[in-house]
Every structure is written in C-alpha cells, then in structure tokens.
Amino acid sequence: MERAHTVQLENLRSKVVDMGTFARKALGIVLQALVEKRMDLFEEVFEIEKSINQWHKQLDEEAVEYLAANGPVARDLRAVVSLVKINTDLERMGDQCVNVAYIGRDALRLNLDLNIPAIRTMFSIVQEMVEKSLESFVKRDSQIAQKVLLMDDEVDDLKKKVQNDMISEMKKNPDLVERNLSLILIARNIERFGDHATNISEDVIYTEAGQDVRHGGFI
Amino acid sequence: MERAHTVQLENLRSKVVDMGTFARKALGIVLQALVEKRMDLFEEVFEIEKSINQWHKQLDEEAVEYLAANGPVARDLRAVVSLVKINTDLERMGDQCVNVAYIGRDALRLNLDLNIPAIRTMFSIVQEMVEKSLESFVKRDSQIAQKVLLMDDEVDDLKKKVQNDMISEMKKNPDLVERNLSLILIARNIERFGDHATNISEDVIYTEAGQDVRHGGFI
C-alpha cells in the first residue's frame, strides 16, 4: 500500500514536469514566431495552450483522487497541495504565451517589427527561470529554487527599461505607438511568465524545507 | 468528530469570505484614489494587500492542517481543494489592485488625469463580479456563479474599447502617451481582476456541481 501510494505521487509529479516542459516549449515557440515573423507558429502556441488547459484539469482531478484515496499527511500532503498550485502556475504560463501570441499576431498583421534585443534577453532569462524552477522541482532542490528568485529581479528591471525606452520613442514618433505599445505589453507578459516560475520555486522551497517564502518571508 | 470537522471547514470558508471582502475593499479604494487623485488612498491599498498576503499564507496552512487532521473525501475534499485555489485568486486580486495603485501613483506624480467614464464602468462591473462570486461561494449557488461568467465578456469588450480609443488619441497627440498608456494598463489589470472573480465562480460550480467548467468545458 505504502509503495503504491509513493508510485502514484511520483506519477503525478512527472505529469507536472511534462506540463512544465510544454509551457517552456510554448515560450520558445512564441519567441521564434516573434523573431521570424511566422503566423503559423503563433497558431501552434494556441494549440499547445489548449493541451496545457486539458492537462491542467486532468491533473487537478488526479490530485483530488490521490488525496481521497490516500489521505496523505506531513510531507506528502504538502507535496500534493504544492502540486495543485504549481499546476495552476503552469497553466497560467500557457496563458501568458497566448497573450504574447495574440499581441504578436496583431502586430504581424500590421507589419510591425517586435524583434528587439531587450525582449530577446527577457525571453532568454525567463526560459532559464522556468527550466531552473522545473529542475528544482524534479531534484527537490531548494538551492536551485533560490536562484530563480534572484533572476526575477533582473527581469523586473528589464521590463521597466523596455517600458521607459518605448515611451520615450513613442513621444518622439507617434507612428511607433502600436509597435511600442505591443512591446510594452509583451515585456509585461514575459515578466509575469517569470513570476509563475518564481511561484513554482517558492512552492518547491515550501514543500522541501517546510518554509513559506512567499510574500518576502525568507529571502 | 463529524461535527468538529464540519465546523472547521465552515471556519475556513468564512475566512475566505473575509479575505474576499478585503479584496473587494481594495478595489473600491483604488478606484476612489484614481477618481479623487489621493496619494494617501494608494498607500492604503498597499497596506491592505500586505494583510491579504499574510492571510493567504495562513489560510493555505490551515487548509493543509484540515486535510491532515480529517482526510476528507468527496464533496468536502473538493471544497478544500477549491478553497486553496480561491485563496490564490483572492491574493492575486490584491496584486491587481496594487498594480493599479502603482500605475495610479506614478500618474498622480505626473499630474495625469485617469478619471474617465470607461474605466469607472469597468471598475463597477468588476466590483459586481467579485461580489457575486463571493455570494455564489457563500450560498453554494452555481446559478449566481454562472452570471459572473457572462459579465466577464462585457469587461473584455470594454478593455478592448479603452485600448483602441487610447491608441487613437495617442497617435494624434503624443503628449498623451504616458496618460493613455496608464489607462490601457489599468484597463488590463481590472480585466484580470475580473478573471479572478471568474475563476472563483468556476471553482464554485466545480465544487457544488462537481463539474469542471474551466477552459470552456460548460458554458
């Protein structure tokens, strides 16, 4: 019985990782779509997000079944509660990718160029954040999770920089309004994608260390 | 034992409602701050959000303790899982209010006027959404929850309208860039606040009807 219980939990955990891998993939594709100006890739992001949404529902359901069947306590219970929350964060990462894809698709129709270095840098940091947050989850490693929390500050600073630069440009050249607004909104969505990686890392720290670091309680 | 278990769950539920009432209050105050251009009220929003964050942590902890102590199944189990999610949504409503307060505070420093009818209308619909979502939770009433789902579409349309109007104005008058960008961002945050009320309503439907309406499964 004990063993079946453990296998079931590991099974749930590995589904979380699969879902995270897809969220990471969606982020990569949306960046590629922006850089290569490819409508077909934006459409692919919408498809991936639909799958993520289905898994989100299914995983929630399986977590509830696990709780009902096993009535776990202590660390296993914390692990399942965290898993339900991480599931929500991954689903919202999908939402952020879709938001960026909508903005990108509209911009592409207007023939706007959104491929700027600061946005590419933001994507690349946030990609590392989601990879590290998933790694910390797989390895149950709070140290790796802590690193994600630091990277989040970097992304916040970049978002502010993009915003300020875009505003200055728009004021000088009103023809840039749609393009620069698109870039501001994309920067904000990418930053929020990063926030979800941060949430996942905080949940890992909570599960593994039993410490609640959310809302500035720890670092 | 059965009775203590029920009292404990009702106690958790009433804490969710208290937290929701505060999120609703924060939304009202941030609107008042925008309309009356009052820096002190923006500061009050930051304080309320800090309290919401504390309660969020505490309520999560109490839900875990409840699960560990009672190992609920069926409807009670679903109720607790939903409660943990609703808790997250309420905490994020607080975040949205803080986002608006930051945007509003910066705008006030630049002496920008953000008091426009479309934004006031959006606030008023979203206030009703949060009230109805809490009412549906208290009364365990899926019918009321369904109404919130419909109001969400109205808010989405308003957000799009604000965005388009603000873009047209900015293109004609670059002096409006900061002010109109602020209004676009506020509209997007208010719309997201509404999304959290929608999430709560979906969780109520899920708990009461055992039906998962998220991601377009029902309405």
Given B57, B85, B212, which is nearest A212 (Cβ)? B57
Of A197-211, B36-50, B140-154, give the lowest mean pLDDT range.
A197-211
Given A77, A171, A172, which is nearest B64 (Cβ)? A77
Residue A211, pLDDT > 70, answer: no
**Average pLDDT of the segment spanning B117-141:** 97
Residue A218, pLDDT > 90, answer: no
Secondary structure (3-state) at A180: helix
pLDDT tens across A96-113, in order? 999 999 999 999 999 999
Alpha helical stretches, state H, chain B: 2-36, 39-70, 74-109, 117-139, 142-172, 177-209
Residue B147, pLDDT > 50, answer: yes
Burial grade of B205 (CB within 10 A; 0-12, 13-18, 19 or more): buried
Percent of chain B with pLDDT over 70: 95
- Considering its fold, how many domains does chain A have in total? 1
Residues on chain A touching B61 (C-beta within 8 angstroms): 212
- The reported pLDDT for the residue numbered B218 is 40
Contact B57 A215 (CB under 8 A): yes
The pair of structure tokens assigned to A156 is: 């916040």
Contact A78 B64 (CB under 8 A): yes
Contact B64 A56 (CB under 8 A): no
The residue among A34 and A206 whose pLDDT is bigger is: A34
Contact A57 B214 (CB under 8 A): yes
Which pTM was predicted?
A: 0.87
Q: What is the C-alpha separation between A136 and A200, in angstroms, rounded?
A: 9
Residues on chain B touching A54 (C-beta within 8 angstroms): 215
Q: DSSP character for B216?
A: G
Q: What is the C-alpha separation between A180 and A195, in angstroms, rounded?
A: 23
Contact A57 B177 (CB under 8 A): no
Residues on chain B touching A78 (C-beta within 8 angstroms): 64
Contacts of A49 (CB under 8 A, 6+ apart): A26, A94, A95, A97, A98
* B77 min Cα distance to partner chain A (Å): 7
Residue A2, pLDDT > 80, answer: no
Residues on chain B touching A178 (C-beta within 8 angstroms): 167
Give the model's confidence band at B136: pLDDT under 50 very low, under 70 low, under 90 confident, else very high: very high
Q: Please give the mean pLDDT across all residues of chain B.
A: 92
pLDDT tens across A166-187, in order? 999 999 999 999 999 999 999 9
Domain that holds residue B86: 2-216
**Which backbone phi and psi does B103 adopt, to 5 degrees?**
-60, -45
Q: What is the C-alpha separation between A115 and A34, in angstroms, rounded?
A: 6
Residue with tokens 């630049």: B110
Give the model's confidence band at A208: pLDDT under 50 very low, under 70 low, under 90 confident, else very high: confident
Give the model's confidence band at A212: pLDDT under 50 very low, under 70 low, under 90 confident, else very high: low
Of A70-74, A110-114, B100-104, give the lowest mean pLDDT range.
A70-74
Residues on chain B touching A88 (C-beta within 8 angstroms): 85, 88
For residues B160, B162, B165 and B170, what is the CA-based torsion angle, rounded to 10 degrees?
Answer: -110
- The reported pLDDT for the residue numbered A213 is 64
CATH number, position A86 = 1.20.58.220
* A195 min Cα distance to partner chain B (Å): 12
* A68 min Cα distance to partner chain B (Å): 5
Distance from CA of residue B39 to its chain's centroid? 22
Instruction: Identify the contact set of chain A against chain B, taking CB-CB distances under 8 A.
Output: 50, 53-54, 56-57, 60-61, 63-64, 67-68, 71, 73-74, 77-78, 81, 84-85, 88, 167, 170-172, 174-175, 177-178, 181, 184-185, 188, 212, 214-215, 217
- Mutation pick from B62, B170, B176, B206 vs chain A, by most beta carbons of A within 10 Å, is B170
pLDDT tens across B51-77, in order? 999 999 899 889 989 998 998 888 889
Residue B212, pLDDT > 90, answer: no
Contact A214 B53 (CB under 8 A): yes
Residues on chain A touching B177 (C-beta within 8 angstroms): 167, 170-171, 177
